[in-house]
């Protein structure tokens, strides 16, 4: 799933956010673009505010490929530029990523970790910074290559259905024969946590 958002993050129903989170935990890939760093789903999966510094001035952005061996960076040069973009600057209040694929430098001097990977449950998550709606970012050849690579990287054919459920396995259903010893908090066959 590719998620782009800007102003209406709060308009997304909490039920939708929980459904998407469950699917990610089960193995669905999620690519979060630009201002979707502030979306409910990204904040939910990161468990952090996902705040940053920003400026809208149409300045040049140079994206450095800092992990050239990563599948998302396949076929890209050492760096590429976008002539006009919105600046995002550090600090970016997200958890430490699994991998950093891109770092951006902006004409005003700021830097930003622009391409970050995460694993949430069985799902691959990629945050990619470029994509302000007033600039033709998504028509750029290099950006298109990043997005295609990211979709291929995020795809997980070995999904785990119902990974978010925790069923109670009764004593008589244990893999090896056992005898219950002591009191339990739950009754036999009681439904697990969801």
Q: Is the pLDDT of residue 179 over 50?
A: yes
Radius of gyration of the chain (CA): 21
Least confident of 31-45, 54-68, 128-142, 178-192: 178-192
Q: Which residues pair with 136 in a beta bridge?
A: none
Which of the 8 DSSP states describes residue 166? B
What's 2-154's CATH class? alpha beta
CB 34 within 8 A of CB 67: no
Model pLDDT, residue 164: 62
- Average pLDDT of the segment spanning 166-173: 82
Q: Is the pLDDT of residue 69 over 80?
A: yes
Least confident of 14-28, 67-81, 127-141, 157-171: 157-171
- Average pLDDT of the segment spanning 102-109: 98
| pLDDT bracket for residue 169 (50, 70, 90) | confident
As to burial, measured by CB atoms within 10 angstroms (0-12 exposed, 13-18 middle, 19+ buried), residue 92 is buried
The answer, as to whether pTM is greater than 0.75, is yes
H or E segment at 40? helix 40-46
| pLDDT bracket for residue 139 (50, 70, 90) | very high
CB 84 within 8 A of CB 58: yes
Write out pLDDT tens, residues 113-129: 999 999 999 999 999 99
What is the rounded end-to-end Cα distance, in angstroms, of the chain?
23
Model pLDDT, residue 193: 45
């Amino acid at each position: 799933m590719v998620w782009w958002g800007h102003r209406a993050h709060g308009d997304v129903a909490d039920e939708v956010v929980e459904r998407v989170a469950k699917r990610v935990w089960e193995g669905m890939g999620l690519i979060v673009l630009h201002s979707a760093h502030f979306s409910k789903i990204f904040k939910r999966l990161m468990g952090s505010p996902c705040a940053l510094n920003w400026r809208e001035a149409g300045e040049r952005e140079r994206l450095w490929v800092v992990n050239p061996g990563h599948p998302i960076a396949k076929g890209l040069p050492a760096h590429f530029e976008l002539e006009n973009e919105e600046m995002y600057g550090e600090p970016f209040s997200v958890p430490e990523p699994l991998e950093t694929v891109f770092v951006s430098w902006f004409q005003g001097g700021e830097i930003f970790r622009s391409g970050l990977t995460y694993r949430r449950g069985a799902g691959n998550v990629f945050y990619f910074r470029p994509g302000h709606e007033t600039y033709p970012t998504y028509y750029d050849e290099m950006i298109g290559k990043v997005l295609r690579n990211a979709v291929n990287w995020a795809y997980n054919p070995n999904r785990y259905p119902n990974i978010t459920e925790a069923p109670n396995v009764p004593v008589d259903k244990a893999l090896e024969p056992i005898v219950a010893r002591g009191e339990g908090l739950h009754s036999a066959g009681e439904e697990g946590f969801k």
